[in-house]
Amino acid sequence: MKIVKDNINILELKEMAKKMQYGLVKAMIDVEKEIMSVDGALHADLMEFLISSEDSEPKNLWGINIFPDNSGDSFIEFDSMMNIKPGWGNRTRGVEDKEIQRKIINIVNKLVIK
């Protein structure tokens, strides 16, 4: 697992994706700190990694899948069990709030060098 604070090259993500089924890289985004953890087997592992190493708060953490071989709308998939947060108004595995989706997309685009 790795925490990305500055940037990560798309080629590194492609190497990570080779280990995973469907050619994806699991990632957890901290929308408050604008950082992400990547390369975990489970979103839960990535979430715990951010909480323990960066003091991230669970309410700010959102799980996504990055498909480094794709572009446009198919580059990021909003799908994680960690996104089910009924206390914060999110009742699905997706990210229902369009503003949070926008923040996630902006953070990923800022951190990933294509």
- State pLDDT tens for residues 41-93: 999 999 999 999 999 999 999 999 999 999 999 999 999 999 999 999 999 99
Give the pLDDT score at 31: 98
Predicted structure pTM score: 0.95
CB neighbours of 8 closer than 8 A, spacing ≥ 6?
2, 38, 111, 112, 113
Q: Which amino acid is at 46?
A: L
Buried b (16+ CB within 10 A) or exposed e, 70-106: eeeeebbbbbbebbebeeeebeeebbeeeebbebbbe
